[in-house]
Structure 1
Amino acid sequence: MPLRTPGPLGHLTPRDQRLFWQYGRGPTVPVPDPLVHRAVERQAAAAPHAVAAEHLGDRITYGELDRHADALAARLAREGVRPGDHVGLFVRRSIPMLVGLLGILKAGAAYVPQDIGLTPPDQLAHVVRTARTRVVLTVAEHAHRVPLPDGHLMITLDEPQPYGTRPRTRTGPDDGCYVLFTSGTTGRPNGVKVTHRNVANILLTEPGGLGIRPGDRVAQLLNVAFDMAAWEILGCLTHGGTLVIRGKDIAAAARTADVIVATPTVLSGIDPAACPRVRTVAVAGEPCPRPLADRWARTAAFHNCCGPTETTIVNTMQRHRPSDPLLSIGRPTPNNTVYVLDAGRRPLPIGEVGEMWAGGDCVSAGYLGNDALNAERYAPDPFLGAGRRMFRTRDLGRWTPDGTLEHLGRTDDQVKVRGFRVELDSVSSVLERVEGCLRAVTLKRDSRTLVSFVCPADVDPDTARRAVADALPYYCVPEHVMPLPFLPETDRGKIDKQALLRMVEERMAVAR
């Protein structure tokens, strides 16, 4: 990637100008194939009898997956699907899910995934409208749940498709690979379009490839509508692994896997002692507690990662070891950049806290039908230039002296309590250092009150409050610390903060 100095860096010292690029630019690495489905096709050609996936006793080989996906792509082409289109993939975890996903890509379209068993009908209808998915794929069992407007077509994936050769499409690296819907400030999720170039750049280079080799078993634990599920699914299939699609028992799938990709919340429910095969673990999606990272890093290569959907799964990674002084989010992944900027979008000196902006090949195409939000979150990249864009992550961070990124919460996690600014993650971090505490989350209840939740349930709340009082100013001390056997999860495997706040109010009402 070309450099443009010293213009945007003119206010920095020569040392900080040098470190801005040394720390903030990932290695420049060629990507072997910019089209994700081509990489899967290569695996099918090389080992057609290798098992691509298994689910509840069923299996499909790479050759079978490729043939079924070709037939589906041919059907989609006959129905008028063209490169650049969006096709709904409203399914549950299953082998047909994989056929649908790959068939859509082979047709030149982008897949729009939703978990049909969990997503409310109103949200499904919003996804259909926003992504303009004229064709929706599902399975017969859930067909009645699909809100299908007039003129739209539904294809059930368990309906046999006549053999057909894959259509010849002119799909390019900058065409869409998938559209994911993220939570929006208006209450309506925003559709984010992510390209083949974006996805191939993280999955087909290291460390994002997670060292997956043909025959490796990769657990598929996460909701298909979550971008980390693409890491599980496509990361496995592009490298010739076997995808172990879970049923209701998450731990059962993890026990037979070599590679696990998960949120910290999901990972905290899995015992590393019961997973002797696991050699690689990657977490992202929310801050990882240090005790959880240390526990897994003793037996596996543990990668702590960071990045919103808009920067394609993750754009920073760090191999963590229990002896490391800090649990950091590492460095930019290949062909990507990270900038720590002030409110005026000027680079800050090394060590100062600012907002992280992401640049390079990770930056997605943007939000569907939302020019105002695109203008707010995407901006021309003055450091790479050449028409490149950067993305405002709203994550706070700083560069450590050794050139790794320390994640310091989110700009929207900064709250004011009694007139003082408080970082909620900093309170939780102290609580997670209390003996026996595996997870902690801190929330603002009102303008004067913080409340914290810790697990497991035998953590002593008084000890936990004293730990915060000893480490942080008085206004950071939670009024209540509530021990719980586990923290509630959203359907994407993250901590459900709204459920926790409801729990507080219910308990307070009972106490009154």
Structure 2
Amino acid sequence: MAWQHFGCGPQVAPDATLIHRAIEAQAAARPQATAAEHQGEFITYGELNRQANRLAATLLSHGVVPGDHVALFVERSIPMLVGMLAVLKIGAAYIPQHVGITPAAQLRHIMDIARVRVVLTLSELAPRLPLTAEQQCIHLDAFIRDQSVIGDDSNVGSMDASPDSVCFVLFTSGTTGLPNGVRVTQRNLCNILLTAPGDLGMKPGLKVGQILNIAFDMSAWEVLGCLTHGATLLIRGKDIAQTAERCDVLIATPSILATLDPARCSRVQVVALAGEPCPQPLAERWSAFCTFYNACGPTETTIVNTMQHYHGSGPLTIGKPTPNNTVYVLDEAGQLCAPGEQGEMWAGGECVTAGYLGNPELTAERYQPDPFLGNGRLMFRTRDLGRWTTQGELEHLGRVDDQVKVRGFRVELDSVSAALEAAPNCQRAVTLKLDNRNLVAFVYPACTDIEVARACCEERLAYYCVPSLILAVDHIPLTSRGKIDKRLLLEWALAHQAPIANAEQVMA
């Protein structure tokens, strides 16, 4: 079977089964090493561990028990790290949200679903939280300054913590309604962060950027990936580029990486991209001077479950399954597709998370018994389209949702964008369905020759795939999670409907 040859990642045992134990080991081995830096402030591994032990004891005194959910409603900061580690130590799960970006109503929804009783935050943010009278709030920055709570190097820990314990709950962005909380376990996390290539070669002496929204699953790759390997986390302020230029390891979405100047990031040794399709020109620019990984995986498969080490030439794919994981490309009947045949990707193995918090119906729909691994294992329906190459790598062919009907024909939006990106100087293209007859595309930078881009599209694709309107823009708007803001782009498109209407009249 092709899936047995292509679809199984290597079997590798992670170095630890509890993610906080790996961080504690770094603190014991290198207590004076710098764990993190943020706007001129520093914390060592020893101090991070000590403060987390203090906070863990306090959480226990507040009645937090293993399996509870603790809200971590903060901004990027060193106290944020103390909160994360403390919650992990006692076997509870933290829920990260960036105050000021997440609306108060959504914070309230998250706390209700998760039955949150204790909230960790920062003093200046506390007045903005929609707390109830029953909820206890701990100000992390004030707690760290107050030494009245005794703490030492003796690690606070829960005997109930296990590899199957949920360590954090990540809520989706909620673009299609109320967000759903994905329950990520210790086993899930250790599997990707403590094996290669997911460890990204992080080690003491290297600096890792923390540039992403903390509610985004890839931020756990930055933060916990760095701390488990003894590197130094550079937590950014408002200027992403300023931090990126000092990094050895950079994890980002393609949209964020596209805003950075490679010439000013010569220190960077490793780049890992995920979250959305990567344009080939972007991969070629960065892989010319650093180790470049193109990866893929929804939140439900623990950050990423496939990775390609792209060497700068040849096809850009999403690579192969990461260790202890499987990928199946299935047809509509649920049968395995042969290499070269398009199907929907399902993920199996250690990456499969523990389902959605408080939503058993959706969990049952998206998480189903894995007939290939058996033994009660589950596989997850990614809603991504793909196919195996003859070399055993996965080609990502877009989302099921991005396969649209235009003039009665099926069109893959990512294929249109890729054709436009073949135009000289075009670094990025985004294609959207405007209505049942028209596609609209945005190309970047603004100096891109629209007619040349259109010709590239006409040469490669059928006439109904060619956008009715192509707009050259000076920037691609991003969401708070560093992905393309398609809603805003559609608003821009609606402002240019007159040219489309005129084109329709000519065609008629």
Counterparts of 1:427-438 in structure 2, within 5 Å, are 427-438=416-427
**1:237 and 2:224 correspond:** no
The CA distance in 1 between the partners of 2:334 and 2:361, in whole Å, is: 19
The CA distance in 2 between the partners of 1:349 and 1:121, in whole Å, is: 48
The CA distance in 2 between the partners of 1:145 and 1:63, in whole Å, is: 32
**In 1, are the aligned partners of 2:366 and 2:381 still within 8 Å (CA)?**
yes
The CA distance in 1 between the partners of 2:156 and 2:41, in whole Å, is: 28
Structure 2 residue corresponding to 1:276, chosen from 239, 261, 266: 266
Q: How big is each residue's C-alpha offset from its partner over 1:461-512, in whole Å with a ceiling of 9 and x where there is no partner?
A: 1111121112111110101111111100000000000000011112337999
Counterparts of 1:151-166 in structure 2, within 5 Å, are 151-160=134-143, 161=146, 162-164=149-151, 166=155
Q: Percent identity, aligned pairs only?
A: 60
**In 2, are the aligned partners of 1:71 and 1:166 still within 8 Å (CA)?**
no
Give 2:477's aligned amino acid: P
**In 1, are the aligned partners of 2:209 and 2:235 still within 8 Å (CA)?**
yes
**In 1, are the aligned partners of 2:328 and 2:347 still within 8 Å (CA)?**
yes
Aligned length: 494
Structure 2 residue corresponding to 1:444, chosen from 433, 450, 463: 433
Give 1:156's aligned amino acid: H
- Segments of 5+ residues of structure 1 without an aligned counterpart are 1-16
The CA distance in 1 between the partners of 2:472 and 2:114, in whole Å, is: 42
SS of 2:496's partner is: helix
- Structure 1 position 151, deviation (Å): 1.3
- Structure 1 position 64, deviation (Å): 0.7
Structure 2 residue corresponding to 1:218, chosen from 208, 216, 224: 208
- Structure 1 position 185, deviation (Å): 7.1
SS of 1:140's partner is: coil
- Structure 1 position 344, deviation (Å): 2.0
**In 2, are the aligned partners of 1:74 and 1:166 still within 8 Å (CA)?**
no
Computed over aligned residues only, the root mean square deviation of the Cα atoms, in angstroms, reads: 1.3
The CA distance in 1 between the partners of 2:357 and 2:368, in whole Å, is: 16
Q: How big is each residue's C-alpha offset from its partner over 1:184-237, in whole Å with a ceiling of 9 and x where there is no partner?
A: 575101010000000000000000000111121001110000000000000000
Aligned to 2:285: 295
Aligned to 2:506: none
- Structure 1 position 314, deviation (Å): 0.0
Aligned to 1:8: none
- Segments of 5+ residues of structure 2 without an aligned counterpart are 502-508
**1:471 and 2:454 correspond:** no
**In 2, are the aligned partners of 1:34 and 1:197 still within 8 Å (CA)?**
yes
Shifted more, 454-463 versus 499-508: the winner is 499-508
Counterparts of 1:401-440 in structure 2, within 5 Å, are 401-440=390-429
Give 1:192's aligned amino acid: V
Shifted more, 88-97 versus 149-158: the winner is 149-158
Structure 2 residue corresponding to 1:44, chosen from 24, 27, 31: 27
The CA distance in 1 between the partners of 2:388 and 2:178, in whole Å, is: 34
Aligned to 1:10: none
Aligned to 1:9: none
**In 2, are the aligned partners of 1:303 and 1:320 still within 8 Å (CA)?**
yes
Give 1:356's aligned amino acid: M
**In 2, are the aligned partners of 1:197 and 1:361 still within 8 Å (CA)?**
yes
Aligned to 1:53: 36
**In 1, are the aligned partners of 2:447 and 2:472 still within 8 Å (CA)?**
yes
The CA distance in 2 between the partners of 1:126 and 1:136, in whole Å, is: 14
- Structure 1 position 346, deviation (Å): 1.3
Counterparts of 1:136-285 in structure 2, within 5 Å, are 136-160=119-143, 161=146, 162-164=149-151, 166-169=155-158, 170-184=160-174, 187-285=177-275
Q: Which runs of 4+ in 1 moved over 3 A?
A: 164-168, 183-186, 507-512
Aligned to 2:307: 317
The CA distance in 2 between the partners of 1:108 and 1:367, in whole Å, is: 19
**In 2, are the aligned partners of 1:217 and 1:242 still within 8 Å (CA)?**
yes
Structure 2 residue corresponding to 1:398, chosen from 381, 384, 387: 387
Counterparts of 1:303-342 in structure 2, within 5 Å, are 303-324=293-314, 326-342=315-331
The CA distance in 1 between the partners of 2:203 and 2:155, in whole Å, is: 26
Give 1:102's aligned amino acid: L
Give 2:40's aligned amino acid: G
Aligned to 2:504: none
Give 2:435's aligned amino acid: D
Q: How big is each residue's C-alpha offset from its partner over 1:270-299, in whole Å with a ceiling of 9 and x where there is no partner?
A: 111111211100000000000000100000
Give 1:486's aligned amino acid: H
TM-score normalised to structure 1 length: 0.95
**1:487 and 2:470 correspond:** no
